[in-house]
Structure 1
């Protein structure tokens, strides 16, 4: 499994800022071959507490806490490696809807964002503001795509 970058956690010790933790992320899960998700951080409420971390299990589709957030690192393998046979004009087999406001940044590779009406190719540096709509991801390249996502509890 691909190694997820390390996580550096800051805090306060004896009244001064310090690095509390500096290590590889440990909760990376390979849900399907090559589809690696690591839920790196979450908050349970807004405003967020700076003193508390609640470790969460990785899930394919997270249950963002009421008034909370998820911070995810996702490696999306090529569709062919997942066994996805997507035919244009037909619903994508991984189409799903979230009830969150998601900020997504493509770090490497490329990925199609597929909506019920239309799609667009995303490349490194592209940013998606996903507002609780039905969508799917399709990696039609030969290389994995890496994205970072922050999922925020939202109201319709």
Structure 2
């Protein structure tokens, strides 16, 4: 749907900059989340480092532990779009989702599609399309390109009520929960 490319730069031991990664990023999808595409760009579970040396890139678990970071792009189809044909058994779809995006299904509330809460601070930027952010009390905010949402572990849901896909950039920062 979108042509996403990643360029990651680092440095040589003597300090000169270099390109470490330059490639197209293909979306990841799972049957349990029909129509949603996740472009996993970069993530780490340790304190990020600068300078020479490789940084381990991690997306397992999907939501980072305290101090970890994930950078991803997410596309969501319109809610009224025809659902893709799913021929996978629901138990198999759940197992696939857990294997591909470990921890995602545990964060979802089964009785309300898409509603979730995680122990992360998420910095979200709407790049294309239109999205609605819904809170616990039913309050909804319409988001269009340029809107930034800093989500700090609150229970929420995203809804695409437009007629076209939405593209959102997200940085997820693993956090602790206050008492």
Structure 2 length-normalised TM: 0.72
SS at match of 2:145: coil
2:96 matched to which residue of 1?
none
Alpha-carbon shift at residue 43 of structure 1 (Å):
2.0
1:122 equivalent among 131, 143, 149? 143
Distance change >3 Å, CA 52–CA 33, structure 1 → 2 = same
2:64 match: 64
CA spacing shift, 1:120–1:33, aligned 2, 3 Å: same
Q: 2:116 aligns with which of 96, 99, 103?
A: 96
Partner of 1:41: 42
- Deviation digits for residues 18-63 of structure 1, max 9, x if unmatched? 222211014x2123342100221112223x123333333588xx23
Residue equivalent to 2:133: 113
Equivalent-residue separation in structure 2 for 1:97 and 1:4 (angstroms): 29
Q: What stretches of structure 2 of length at least 5 have no aligned partner? A: 84-110
Superposition deviation, residue 100 in structure 1: 0.4
Q: In the superposition, relative to structure 1, how do residues 19 and 52 fare at CA in structure 2: closer, same or farther (>3 Å)?
A: closer
After superposing the two structures, state which structure 1 stretch, 133-142 or 50-59, moved more. Answer: 50-59
Q: Aligned partners of 1:94 and 1:107: how far apart in 2? A: 20
Q: Is the 8 A contact 1:99 1:154 kept in 2?
A: yes
Normalized per residue, which structure has more strand?
1
Taking the aligned partners of 2:82 and 2:143, their CA distance within structure 1 comes to 19
| Off by >4 Å, runs of 4+ in structure 1 | none
Q: For 2:60 and 2:134, how far apart are their aligned partners in 1?
A: 24
Residue 56 of structure 2: aligned partner: 54
Cα distance in 2 between the residues matched to 1:56 and 1:65: 11
* Richer in helix (by share): 2
Query: How many matched pairs?
Result: 144
2:64 and 2:41 map into 1 onto residues whose CA distance is 13
**Preserved contact between residue 73 and residue 168 of structure 2 (Cα < 8 Å):** yes
How far 1:75 sits from its partner (Å)?
0.4
